[in-house]
Structure 1
Amino acid sequence: MTAQLSGAFRAGDRVQLTGPKGKLNSITLTVGATFHSHRGWINHDDLIGLPDGSVVENSSGVEHLALRPLLTDFVMSMPRGAAIIYPKDAAQILAQADVFPGATVVEAGVGSGALSLWLLRALGPTGRLSSFERRDEFADIARENVAAFMGYDPTNWSVTVGDLTDALPETHEPATVDRVILDMLAPWECIEVAAAALKPGGVVLCYVATVTQLSRVTETIRSTGLFTNPDPSETMVRTWHVEGLAVRPDHRMIGHTGFLVTARRLAPGSVLPELKRRASKSDYDDADVEAWTPGALGERGISPKSLRKRVREASASGNAARDREAADPADSVETDKLE
């Protein structure tokens, strides 16, 4: 059963309201509730039953466009415990890791569930996603965010709270995983356990934020002798302003958010041929390692109070979606038939 992605709005649906100046507000439709802004209000009941893409007026006559959020919209506005992977990077992860329907994928850490949603969509009902997260609160937020968007708890997705190096060997037999995606501060600590879990030819992909992390994880992958030569990259997106003959790049762009490093698992016993031209391996010492710690990297934590609030927000959204499907499963069944 899937969440309704088209058709008339229902109670429990998430709706994105866009005001005249382009300001976005995401709400979950609730019978009898009201959306308030500084320019007026809109009754949720006035939206329920309208087709997707409708324009409604608030109490002050200000028009708002009502649309179901795309997955891109949803992940940018959902409650967050940890920073999310931006859609531009998520798209590259799916492509560079070659995530396919039916694959078995390991993800660590789960963060707020943004990448989990993209992976679940790509894997389809026959694939399997195993996510690992060290913090209970982040795992809870991720579960609720996934339920809020999909309308149910996916049966082909598991979230394990614990350290990947300890938990992965307990959940997956050696050489049974197609893809391993590492989104963590020190992915080099998990390269060997990832290599043990991957099938020959499988892909490991690491998402890191800084050049020092990029250097260390690349050299770690290379030094194991278990993978092909790592392939590092980054993705930048520049939008354009187009109005008549006024055509120019926008003043702002989505620049650096992170680096992607990919490599493929070699067959047991295989030795990668030496490259004819290869950059020299740079040495690093304890002082360099200290520079890669969370504090030195400027990693911003989240206060326990703020984290508890976001857990409550994610839970409310997830429960509303589950209640919607439980109360009106027929609509979802019809949607499945149309799809």
Structure 2
Amino acid sequence: MSEPTGAARRRGPFKVGDQVQLTDPKGRHYTFTLEAGKQFHTHKGAFSHDELIGASEGSVVRTTGNVAYLALRPLLPDYVLSMPRGAAVVYPKDAGQILAFADIFAGARVVEAGVGSGALSAFLLRAVGDHGMLHSYERRQDFADIAQGNVERYFGGPHPAWTLTVGDLQDNLSDTEVDRVVLDMLAPWETLEAVSKALVPGGIMCAYVATTTQLARTVESIREIGCFAEPQPWESMVRNWHVEGLAVRPDHRMIGHTGFLVTARRLADGVEPPMRRRRPSKGAYGEDYEGPNKERGSGQA
């Protein structure tokens, strides 16, 4: 039985073509690709790639300046934060939440809109596996080219489950019986009609947006279209901790706001969503509100 795509690059001794992540004594990372006969240079000296070829992952190499570097393969979160970028990447903390709360499973049929630099595509492909499907749509050819290069570099070549189309999702979506749709784009509400036709009943739509105005417009548009259960919006923040003897405290810096996530389940055809019991707070749909449910501002809430 053949190994899943990219699995052979994740284990065993280092070999030519592998990516290596070095960690210096101060915790700084340096990533490069192993090539026979080449040298890696730092401001603290150099060492030959040949010293790592055939060595076990987790080995330590020393430069000519006698500085020790720990050598490991970069994890996918490390890779996406250091790879070439066209557009901003989906941060690993958000990619992990998308995989969990959009319930991306092995063999799933997934549509993605807004490929950016390919970070989320790599996470999704690893989750759906060789026998799933990921059909990604990207409006810009230059972003699509960068994303394709990044994804293929990570997996060691083309992934059998991946199709990349250059164009707008709402104009080009032809997939049917889709299990999940992930939208990383400026105006996800513009795609809801096409998405609702592609998703199976019970399928999940997940949108990743950057601003509160996008979040509000997305949630209200999902409610208005009427074929999804109540949307669930949230954001996550990550704070590392410093632990050194009795000095245990939060780090001074944290990964705060990167984006908002919204998920919603597709209802069966012809079913209306149950009436929400919670009444909007006073003024939620006031005169200044310009969203899709604007009529609520006239006292119909």
TM-score between both structures, scaled by the size of structure 1: 0.81
Q: How many residues align?
A: 282
| Counterpart Cα distance in 1 of 2:75 and 2:290 | 46
| Counterpart Cα distance in 1 of 2:280 and 2:212 | 16
Q: CA deviation at 1:186?
A: 0.9
Q: CA deviation at 1:152?
A: 1.9
Unaligned runs of 5+ residues in structure 2 are 292-301
Task: Give CA deviations for 1:265-292 in whole Å, capped at 9, x if unaligned.
Answer: 1111101121111326636449xxxxxx
The letter of the residue matching 1:197 is A
| Counterpart Cα distance in 2 of 1:43 and 1:71 | 25
Matches within 5 A, 1:132-211: 132-168=137-173, 171-173=174-176, 176-211=177-212
Instruction: Tell me the residue number matched to 1:47.
Output: 52
| Counterpart Cα distance in 2 of 1:279 and 1:253 | 33
| Counterpart Cα distance in 1 of 2:18 and 2:211 | 38
The letter of the residue matching 1:56 is V
Instruction: Tell me the residue number matched to 2:27.
Output: 22
Instruction: Tell me the residue number matched to 1:111.
Output: 116
SS at match of 2:10: coil
TM-score between both structures, scaled by the size of structure 2: 0.91
2:69 paired with 1:68:
no
Instruction: Tell me the residue number matched to 2:296.
Output: none
Instruction: Tell me the residue number matched to 1:276.
Output: 277
Task: Give CA deviations for 1:223-266 in whole Å, capped at 9, x if unaligned.
Answer: 11111111000011111111111111111111111100010111
2:299 paired with 1:267:
no
| Counterpart Cα distance in 2 of 1:82 and 1:33 | 31
Unaligned runs of 5+ residues in structure 1 are 287-339
Q: CA deviation at 1:44?
A: 1.2
Instruction: Tell me the residue number matched to 1:254.
Output: 255
The letter of the residue matching 2:200 is K
Instruction: Tell me the residue number matched to 1:229.
Output: 230
More divergent stretch after superposition (155-164 vs 134-143): 134-143
Instruction: Tell me the residue number matched to 2:219.
Output: 218
Higher relative contact order structure (alpha carbons within 8 Å, sequence separation ≥ 6) = 1
Q: Is the 8 A contact 2:129 2:161 kept in 1?
A: no
The letter of the residue matching 1:178 is D
| Counterpart Cα distance in 1 of 2:118 and 2:224 | 31
Task: Give CA deviations for 1:95-121 in whole Å, capped at 9, x if unaligned.
Answer: 111111111000011111111111111
Bigger helix fraction:
1
SS at match of 2:193: helix
Matching residue within 9, 15, 18 for 1:4? 9
Q: CA deviation at 1:35?
A: 1.5
Instruction: Tell me the residue number matched to 1:300.
Output: none
| Counterpart Cα distance in 2 of 1:94 and 1:161 | 24
Task: Give CA deviations for 1:3-62 in whole Å, capped at 9, x if unaligned.
Answer: 421221111000001111111110001112222222211221222111100110011111
Instruction: Tell me the residue number matched to 2:297.
Output: none
2:101 paired with 1:93:
no
| Counterpart Cα distance in 2 of 1:52 and 1:194 | 43
Task: Give CA deviations for 1:52-95 in whole Å, capped at 9, x if unaligned.
Answer: 00110011111111100111111111111110111110010011
SS at match of 1:16: strand
**Percent sequence identity over matched residues?**
60
SS at match of 2:61: strand
SS at match of 1:4: helix
| Counterpart Cα distance in 2 of 1:87 and 1:156 | 21
| Counterpart Cα distance in 2 of 1:137 and 1:118 | 21
2:10 paired with 1:35:
no
The letter of the residue matching 2:267 is L
Task: Give CA deviations for 1:191-212 in whole Å, capped at 9, x if unaligned.
Answer: 1111111011111010001101
